[in-house]
Amino acid sequence: MELHRVGIIGLGLIGGSIGLDLQAKGHEVCGWVNKEENAIKAKERGLAQFISTDPEIIADCSIVILALPLPQLIEPAKQLINALPINAVITDVGSVKKPVLNKWRRLHPKFVASHPMSGTIHTGVEAGQRKLFKNKPWVATPDETTDNDALTVVKNLAISLGSDWITTDAETHDQAVALISHLPVYISASLLKSVNEERNNKVSTLAKTIASSGFKDTTRVGGGNPDLGVAMARYNSEKILETFTTYRASIDKFEKMISHKQWDKLKQELEQTQQNRSNYL
């Protein structure tokens, strides 16, 4: 693979992890961060060779990765837009693609909307780690305005980090992530809320004492980063609300099987969900 000078805007979990991997592949990495303290920490951790709070740092880059939280990505600062080299390939890592693409296809001719699907519970400049993307999906959502050569550049970069490259349209992406990534946050948070709002004190105290691995797993994403949970809801609300409707229908069916004592039917359903899960996880 051709060696690049790659700019990364934001050196949090995703940006920092990309920075570590790209350097290991021989690329030159320039990181632009918002605060001096983050620049210092990112330098200590070696997340990029060159790190600054000055946008000038990305001036000579041939690829720039916008590794920013959704709000800064969807409502980008003027300073950010002006700092991007016109000839560079630009890509993002946002978990919602339609509003990103709608915004950015007007802002830069070589913008490629993409979403590396890797995560840990950690965030910030301390979170970046090697090989975060290995064997994980990296979804790109090109449309008719997307530059084909730019798409190939991003594809090669994703593949060089070990990702499974997938392309689809932004609409399909946003619907799929609403279902498997965003909805789980709210159904998991709802479970925590239900335990917390249990009015019988004896029950709620015992519940909290005996909560075990099953509860821990089911509530993990509902106890995650609140800012991320808000950003998803904000920028993918239409698709998420559709999944609430589907989900409520499923919940209602299970409730009905239980209240009507349809044990054979319940068993069939649970056999089905067991089978489904093992088919694709």
**Quick one: 106 or 220, whose CB is closer to a second copy?**
220
In DSSP terms, 91 is beta-bridged to 65, 112
What does the alpha-carbon distance between residue 119 and residue 123 come to, in Å, rounded to a whole number? Answer: 9
Q: Name the strand (E) or helix (H) holding 47.
A: none
What is the C-alpha separation between 168 and 34, in angstroms, rounded? 32
DSSP, collapsed to helix, strand or coil, labels residue 212 as coil
Closer to a second copy by Cβ: residue 107 or 250: 250
Task: From 127, 137, 197, select the one nearest 168 (Cα to Cα).
Answer: 137
Whole-angstrom distance, CA of residue 158 vs CA of residue 166: 10
Nearer of residues 35 and 267 to a second copy, judged by Cβ: 267
CB of 105 to a second copy, least distance (A): 21
The two tokens of residue 153 are 């550049």
Question: Which value, in Å, is the radius of gyration of the alpha carbons in the chain?
Answer: 21
* Dist CA 14 CA 68 (whole Å): 9
Shortest Å distance, C-beta 51 to a second copy: 29
Q: How far is the CB of 262 from a second copy (least distance, A)?
A: 10
| Shortest CB 278 distance to a second copy, Å | 7
Given the complex with a second copy, which of 86 and 281 has the nearer CB atom? 281
Q: How far is the CB of 158 from a second copy (least distance, A)?
A: 13
CA dihedral 213→227→84→112, nearest 10 degrees, is 50
Tokens linked to 151: 């798409």
Residue number, 52 or 168, with CB nearest to a second copy: 168
- Closer to a second copy by Cβ: residue 106 or 260: 260
Least separation in angstroms between residue 190's CB and a second copy is 4
Torsion sign (Cα): 236, 241, 247, 251: positive
